[in-house]
Amino acid sequence: MAEASVDLPAEILLSKRVQEMVLDKKEPPAPYKCRDDADSEDDDPISMSPIPLIDLGCLLLSTSEVPAQEIVEVLEKINAALSSWGCFQAIGHGISNLLLDKVRQISREFFAQPMEEKKKYAKTVVDFEGYGADPVPEEGQSLDWSDRLFLNVQPEDQRNYKFWPMTPESFRDVLLEYTDEMKRVTELISRAMAKSLNLDENCFLKQFGERSQLQARFNYYSPCKRPDLVLGLKPHSDGSGYTIIMQDEVGLQVLKDDKWYKIPKNPHALLVLMADQMEIMTNGIFKSPVHRVLSNSERDRISVAVFYTPEVGKEIGPEDGLVNERTPKLFKMVKDYADTHFGYYQRGMRALHTAQA
């Protein structure tokens, strides 16, 4: 990981949360300005979004209850979506609307609290966990117009409850319930992805390991007067295995064939987004797409991203069943790739080339 800079201006700047700058009615300071492509934005209506939408409902039932053909069709859709887009919006995932609404509600309530309250959970500039922004970036990097609360949720012994908000009162219980659902949904999706590639259904779960990690990142995107200059989150791919995102407003975009596509608003859908480690494990078949979040001049936005990552210290690599004479190994075995990824992310770069065979 990149070493923390002791550069004073950066320290001062980062000690200020984006939400405070909004309250102060200040113009965005220079490090937040990182956009120069606003003119080229294609404002196609959200209803036209081609992001695949897949109903996972039939995968929740036992195979005797569903016609085999129906399952085959869903697996084909998953394979097609992840090979071309690297993501899909999932419905029929089995998480109740009520719980999804509660997760959005506790996120909104947490960020709406006075700064003194939120700062009880403040992270230090070099840490990941807690309330704040990314660890101190290096010179000349752009900053994101957003504030975050980042928490390790799985394995249980990796939780640092001092960062888990006491208010709103239901925060912990709702997050625990959501964590259980994320465990269930990541198992379901990991098996479905394996089957869609004609692999042993447990192969990815084995690579993620018994102590696979789940980390929740609650993102709060304040309105910004200059959405033409400032991004809520800079373009990046994720360093996890894959990521599951819920949002309450539009703003997230995925890059495909040099064009940005909006993820439509759909309050009870979850975005399943491949990250670099799934691209490695599928030997490049599933794509880890670059994505970013626009800022908005009027509306704020909440999202909760759950990163699903192989266990610490575990080597992962391309599945043997996907490597043959016609499709040679594209990646080598790697471990703790998320750390390597982060060092590059800080500089606005991708890290996948470090895993090339």
**Is position 224 an interface residue for ligand OGA (rule: CB under 6 A)?**
no
Q: How far is the CB of 243 from Ni ion (least distance, A)?
A: 6
Q: How far apart are CA 300 and CA 111, in angstroms?
A: 11
Q: Judged by CB, which is closer to Ni ion: 145, or 197?
A: 145
Q: Is the dihedral of CA 265, 239, 254, 125 positive or negative?
A: positive
Residue 217 interacting entry, from ligand OGA, Ni ion, none, C-beta within 5 to 8 Å by type: ligand OGA
The contact mask relative to ligand OGA for 291-320 (x = CB under 6 A, - = no) is x-x---------x-x---------------
Q: Which of residues 183-242 bind Ni ion (CB under 5 A)?
A: 238
**Is position 247 an interface residue for ligand OGA (rule: CB under 6 A)?**
yes
Q: How far is the CB of 26 from Ni ion (least distance, A)?
A: 27
Which residues pair with residue 259 across a beta bridge? 256
Q: How far apart are CA 349 and CA 203, in angstroms?
A: 30
Burial label, 193 (beta-carbon count in 10 A; 0-12, 13-18, 19+): buried
CA distance readout (Å), 128 to 68, 93, 94, 244, 246: 44, 29, 30, 19, 21
Q: Judged by CB, which is closer to ligand OGA: 133, or 197?
A: 133
Q: Which of residues 97-136 bind Ni ion (CB under 5 A)?
A: none
Residue nearest to ligand OGA (CB): 303
**Is position 300 an interface residue for Ni ion (rule: CB under 5 A)?**
no
Q: How far apart are CA 172 and CA 165, in angstroms?
A: 7
**Is position 245 an interface residue for ligand OGA (rule: CB under 6 A)?**
yes
**Is position 254 an interface residue for ligand OGA (rule: CB under 6 A)?**
no
**SS3 for 340?**
helix
For residue 233, give every residue at least 6 positions away whose Cβ sits within 8 Å of its Cβ, in sequence order, or none. 144, 146, 219, 221, 292, 293
What residues line the site for ligand OGA (CB under 6 A)? 217, 219, 233, 238, 245, 247, 252, 291, 293, 303, 305
